[in-house]
Chains A and B, each alone.
Chain A
Amino acid sequence: MQRAVERRGIPTVSPTVARDVTEHAKPPRAVFLPFLMGHLFGVPHHVALQRRIIMECLGRVTDAPESGDIHTLPISWSTARREGIEIERGLGLRG
Chain B
Amino acid sequence: MTESSSEVEARQLRPGLWATVNERYPGSMITKSDLVPLAPLRKPLSECRVTFISTSGVQPKGTLPFDTVHPVGDYTFRRVPSDSRIEDLEIHQLKYPTAGADRDLNVIFPIERLRELVADGVIGGLTENFYTFIGYNMDPERLESTLAEDIAAAVSAEGADIALAAPA
Within 8 A of A (CB), among B1-54: 1-5, 8-9, 11-15, 17-18, 29-41, 45, 50-51, 53
Is B152's CB within 8 Å of the partner chain A? yes
* Distance in angstroms between the alpha carbons of A66 and B114 in the assembled complex: 26
Contact with A along B70-110 (1 / 0, CB 8 A): 00000000000000000000000001111111011011101
B144, B152, B165: which contacts A13 (Cβ < 8 A)? B165
A5 in contact with B107 (CB, 8 Å): no
On chain A, the residues within 8 Å of B134 by CB distance are none
Q: How many residues does chain B have at the interface if contact means C-beta atoms less than 8 Å apart?
A: 69
On chain A, the residues within 8 Å of B31 by CB distance are 24-25
A47 in contact with B1 (CB, 8 Å): no
Q: What are 27 sample pairs from A and B whose C-beta atoms fall under 8 A apart?
A: A1-B152, A3-B32, A7-B152, A9-B156, A10-B152, A13-B165, A15-B164, A20-B17, A24-B32, A25-B30, A26-B34, A34-B9, A34-B12, A36-B100, A38-B96, A40-B166, A40-B167, A41-B166, A43-B104, A44-B104, A45-B104, A54-B117, A67-B38, A68-B35, A72-B5, A74-B4, A76-B8
> Interface of B with A (CB < 8 Å)?
1-5, 8-9, 11-15, 17-18, 29-41, 45, 50-51, 53, 95-101, 103-104, 106-108, 110, 113-114, 116-117, 122-123, 143-144, 147-149, 151-153, 155-156, 160-168
> Interface of A with B (CB < 8 Å)?
1-16, 18-22, 24-29, 32, 34, 36-45, 47, 50-51, 54-55, 57-58, 61-62, 64, 66-68, 72-77, 79, 93
